[in-house]
Amino acid sequence: MDKQTQQHLQSFLILARKIKSYHEAIGLLHWDLRTGAPKKGVPTRSETLGLLSTEAFKLQTSAEMKAYLDTLTEPEVLEQLEDTDRRQVEECKKEYDRSQSVPPEKVQAYTVLTAKSETAWEDAKHNSDYAGFSPYLTDIVKLKQEFIDYWGVKDTRYDTLLDMYEPGLTVEKVDAVFARLKARLVPLQEKINAAENKPNTDFLNQIFDTKQQEKFSLFILEQMGYDFEAGRLDESVHPFATGLNPGDVRITTNYLQDDVTSAIFSSLHEGGHALYEQNIDESLAGTLLAEGTSMGIHESQSRLWENMIGRSLPFWTRYYKDLQQHFPQLSEVKLEDFYRAINRVESSLIRIEADELTYNLHIIIRYEIEKMLYNEGLEVKDLPETWNKKYKEYLGILPTNDGEGVLQDVHWSGGDFGYFASYSLGNMYAAQIMHTLRREMPELDRLIEEGNLIPIKEWLTDKIYRYGKSRTPSELIVAVTGEELNPDYLADYLEAKYAEIYKL
């Protein structure tokens, strides 16, 4: 590499780090907005977020960035770059090509709108006020449709959104995978519905002190290896994780006094996200690769810790006595009864509290609605009716209000259309990864039963976490498991688990 090209590379890396710094500041302001910022400060904070996001966007699509990319993406130059540098160049090139035609004022308007919208959503959800929230959502969808035109329509308009969260994902692929999954899960659900030996869940319908829930959540996070010197646990309306940098990865949960399981499993879920980002290799810190490679892979880690470890019998063999100490009202409930209760299968209204089997139906509902919005002309005003119709069709139940229906998720208020499919992809990736983990770590159940979770975190760090975004989702899953995404592992896992629980 000649001296001038070397200088281009160094200047590019400085610019990329500057963009990363903007994103860290934006992430911190956004975290504060959702964890207790005063409501009167929301309008000004939203404008600040819009301004910073626009400045980062201008850097990403600047003439300076174009000049660096023109040089560094020359084939003979690209092949001389170190792997990390080459991957950063490729990521920036993809983002530049996608975004260079978007007017910066559109980015600013969108960021301000979504910042205000998320705060409005909290009130709308609480008051079940879809009419009050609808104008925000209408404007978000309108702007998102404009962005699709700027970015370039792929096979369908919705394909463009899917690709933002899972590179290379298409409607055709998701439809095929979901069809394959439904072909095995629907008969399984029918068998479970007909089963006589159903778990008793009455003892879960009690009041559980939220301070004790917080203490237990902190305890479990510490057990799984979450580094509190590189993160913190807070409360928010909808649980989330924010990775500012590997040394600052924050998570939130939500405590419900009439549901002891909600905070536990959301803490495990967000803790899985956080372990991923806390354990990215130090060499990637400050680069655009210091984040998860896709939302599907990210969700695989949250779902693996939440469900495949956190809802397992070995896990509760170790931690159930600790739970009983925090909540004496469970002292007379046997371990097996508790384990079966937290793994019950039943149609429910709330996605984040759904069992592992019906959860995928919640995702399919959202996926189909989003397709209708962007590909088929569904209007925002008709969302509640469409939502309720699909819940009746897929789960046989109807929301009693929009707060537990179409307003239950934060995602649309932030413009995250195309995200939901990654949750089911995450379930599939997680089952496939867990299959490999069991093969390579035959003592897995014994380690979990002993509360020795750190070797699991270390294995995941070695196979997944440390690479950040330096490997594509496809490269990563093939390197870890030896094959591309295969939904049969999830179906196999669920069939075996529920056959045992329901004595099928």
**Cα distance between residue 336 and residue 208, in whole Å:** 20
| Alpha-carbon span 504 to 444, nearest angstrom | 25
Under 8 Å CB-to-CB from 299, ≥6 apart: which residues?
422, 423, 425, 426, 427, 429, 430
Instruction: Using alpha carbons, select from 5, 1, 4, 54 the residue that is nearest to residue 25.
Output: 54
Cα(47)–Cα(155) distance, integer angstroms: 35
Phi, psi of 142 (to 5 degrees): -60, -45
Please, which residues bridge with residue 250 across strands?
242
DSSP string, 170-222: -HHHHHHHHHHHHHHHHHHHHHHHH-S-PPP-GGGSS---HHHHHHHHHHHHH
Helix, strand, or coil (residue 455): helix
Record the tokens describing residue 15, joined without a space: 């610019």
Q: Print the SS3 string covering 367-389.
A: HHHHHHHHHCCCCHHHHHHHHHH
118, 270, 277, 368: which one is catalytic? 270
Burial code of 147-164, b = ≥16 C-beta within 10 A, e = fewer? bbeebeeeebbbbbbbbb
* Assigned token pair, 422: 């990654």
Spatial neighbors of 254 by CB under 8 A, at least 6 apart, are: 235, 236, 237, 238, 239, 262, 263, 266
235 is annotated as an active-site residue: no
Helix 260-278 × helix 210-223 angle, to 10°:
30
End-to-end CA gap in the chain: 65
* Residues annotated in a binding site for Zn(2+): 269, 273, 299
**Cα 47 vs. chain centroid, distance in angstroms?**
26
Largest CA distance in the chain: 75
Residues with a catalytic annotation lie at 270
